[in-house]
Amino acid sequence: MLKIAVIGGNDTVIGFKAVGLEACPASNVEEARQALRNLTKEGSEYAIIYIEEKLAQELQHEIDRFKDSPTPAIILIPGREGSLGLGQNALRAAVERAVGTNILGD
């Protein structure tokens, strides 16, 4: 059975844990990097990994390794401070790659 995980600050992940997702609290980039590596190691069963935008910004190189892979789907989510717009930009880029044009508008 495929699983879903979330990486982010404790305030961000606690709500996801309440609904049954694997919560990986990370107070800094190194903890987030280690969590991402653990969740994506060979034989992993994680189909979706949500990552808080603030941490994802520093992990972009590692996240980019999965952008053309069907699993895991890595989805950026806003943190407690609000959105940085990175998740929306990533979605726009993925749709543009798939469709060949930006159908989402500005």
The string of pLDDT tens digits covering residues 79-93 is 777 665 555 656 555
pTM above 0.85, yes or no: no
Strand segments (E) across 1-106: 3-8, 22-25, 46-52, 73-77
Full set of structural domains in the chain with CATH: 3-99 (3.40.50.10580)
- pLDDT digit string, tens, across residues 8-30: 999 889 988 989 999 999 999 99
CA distance 90 to 74: 10
Distances (CA, A) of 60 to 28, 56, 99: 15, 6, 23
Tens-digit pLDDT profile for residues 24-78: 999 999 999 999 999 999 888 999 999 999 999 999 999 999 988 888 989 888 8
- Please give the angle made by the CA atoms of 62, 26 and 6, to the nearest 5 degrees: 70
